[in-house]
Structure 1
């Protein structure tokens, strides 16, 4: 990073949220519910031990603990779905999403600080010390959905993060100065930003698409905004690329030649890219990246007997 000072390194948001949820699962009130829930799905439930299972199911305290677990983790799961999805980059949304998740957890627990402080501390340990970066604050500032919201945050760290990113990502001093000056018409809805179409499509377009469409009057700021808002917060895309290879390379298929193996991975991954583009155009239903049932099956690509493929045929 010392050699490439214009680059940013950020942790994987999905992994950090996973660690938060894992830590929450270690809390006594959560651990007790999880331990009992695992008993409900064990093989002994059909035998004599099933009587104990019956007691658990009929115990109101068990279901109260389940409800507590759901109300304290659901907001974080929503953030996890957002950063793990491929429909639009999450860089412009994660800063606000984490704040809203914390507020939702506090509201679910009645708003008393004593009821949610322990959970907030677990979240803050990961967010403040590991995950939160200037890029997230800059993404919040440049996202028109938040910049033009009546209840937008005025936390000084947002503007500080914005200028840190400008110093690092815009190497040319003149271009950086122009981008800084162009923040004024963006903030005041002047020029293209004041068009009725710009106001009407803030929530209908992704932040990147919105800037491409209406940022022509502020070219330096437009380039900077597209660069920041187009970034991903998670490495899940890379993991899914490896999972494509793992789906192909199983014990049942390990006799495939290297050439054919690479061809199958190439076909499967590009089919997913095609499906992603179709979803953007509204031609396919949205899929949940956290549900395995939404992942397309790859069995159609394989047969028991391998047919040797010559390089010229690929």
Structure 2
């Protein structure tokens, strides 16, 4: 991809190419995930979540002490899952520690098991919570930048440069006393990816064109090198037109000095409230040539999320089982589905979800839920768990009753199938009666199996590990 971008720039001198900013931030988070501190802390935290989400009584107590909040949340991308999960667990630190020393926990039957005692040791480990706080402190600014880059609400080209530099400054401020242990490895990972991928003049030009940044003298004095970036963009944009290049540099002075429409009272008031490209469209008439260039730069996308979303949608429509669709029909289906999702998203929530590798998010989260060697409970252990549960909780009682009914249906279905197979094996003269009985058994088996399939979803959370 990088080589193809360089060839395109060489072929078309006025063309700018830059990699996906979301991918760059994902690679930064991936590099940070390889640090020993992060790997050990993630492994420690995943043991806590595995125990909780594979044992019904501890999970019930956890939800009571956290007021119904889960300790696992979806992340903007699959690369950020570990860091978002650590932030969520650290947020429930007091609730988890209170739970394992409460009377409800100590009196529960499951608290006497070896796994439960190991779980208590994991939750009460002071070093784990200290390391978890450190990781949250340096990952939280980067996750915020990732959300800005993948936002569907506004073009991020005018914010990428400033957002990433603000994140670096925030990390430096938070770890002034831990420069060698944490600050240096984290900043090194960020700088390597930034210099290799995102250190482009186009992002510097987006920063310079943003009126919120341009009229902040302190901010522009810190990032005065962005002026060199905008000049490079202008020279490439007007390479074959010296008159246009001269007009652009002249209009730069008008924009910096807030002359003409740039200095209007409404323009000053809208600098921080209006999107940069809309602001230029409204108040950029005093510099028509620079206005056209600014709108082009600020309207650019810096993430490949839209392309990834379309690819995932077409892969879902054009599958191995449905591969004879005509081209126009497939485009129409994709159009309807895409607009339906946008309409549903605007109605239900304003939160942005990252479509990059959406299919792998659930698979990646299994490390936080599934046990390596899940235990299988016998009848006596299940009865002991039941006695320890709250008898007045209707949700638990209904789930247990539904689970028993589904299990009995499975057993009856298996017995009927075994009897049918034995009759077929033995044969006999009553061939017509055997055929009718086989039909009745088969019909009943289908009804039982469909009933189990319909009701299995309501008890999955409580029997996930046992199955």
Distance in 1 between the 2:134 and 2:318 partners?
A: 41
Q: Deviation string for 1:79-108 (max 9, x for gaps)? A: 100111121111111111111001111222
Q: Deviation string for 1:35-89 (max 9, x for gaps)? A: 1112123369647434322211111211111111111101000010011112111
Counterpart residue number, 1:36: 44
Distance in 1 between the 2:245 and 2:343 partners?
A: 37
Q: Deviation string for 1:171-227 (max 9, x for gaps)? A: 422112101100111101110000000010111111000000000111000011111
Counterpart residue number, 1:226: 295
| Worse-matched range after superposition: 241-250 or 152-161 | 241-250
The yes-or-no answer on 1:67 pairing with 2:133 is yes
Distance in 2 between the 1:244 and 1:97 partners?
A: 30
Counterpart residue number, 1:56: 122
Distance in 1 between the 2:15 and 2:355 partners?
A: 33
**Residue in structure 1 matching 2:196, options 120, 129, 133:** 129
Counterpart residue number, 2:237: 169
State the secondary structure of the residue aligned to 1:41: helix
After superposition, the Cα gap between the structure-2 partners of 1:48 and 1:242, relative to the gap in structure 1 and judged at 3 Å, is farther
Q: Deviation string for 1:262-303 (max 9, x for gaps)? A: 322121123456678xx6xxx8742222499x9xxxxxxxxx
Query: Which ranges of structure 2 fall in alignment gaps of 5 or more residues?
Result: 1-7, 56-112, 359-467
> Computing the radius of gyration over CA atoms, which structure comes out larger, 1 or 2?
2
- Is 1:176–1:220's contact at 8 Å kept on the other side of the alignment? no
Distance in 2 between the 1:70 and 1:122 partners?
A: 16
**Residue in structure 2 matching 1:15, options 17, 23, 29:** 23
TM-score (norm 1): 0.83
Counterpart residue number, 2:351: 287
| Worse-matched range after superposition: 107-116 or 176-185 | 107-116
* Equivalent residue pairs, number: 287
Counterpart residue number, 1:246: 315
Matches within 5 A, 1:170-189: 170-171=238-239, 172-189=241-258
State the secondary structure of the residue aligned to 2:220: coil
- Is 2:318–2:325's contact at 8 Å kept on the other side of the alignment? no
- Is 1:106–1:112's contact at 8 Å kept on the other side of the alignment? no
**Residue in structure 2 matching 1:105, options 161, 171, 175:** 171
Distance in 2 between the 1:136 and 1:266 partners?
A: 32
Matches within 5 A, 1:255-294: 255=322, 257-259=324-326, 260-272=329-341, 285-290=349-354
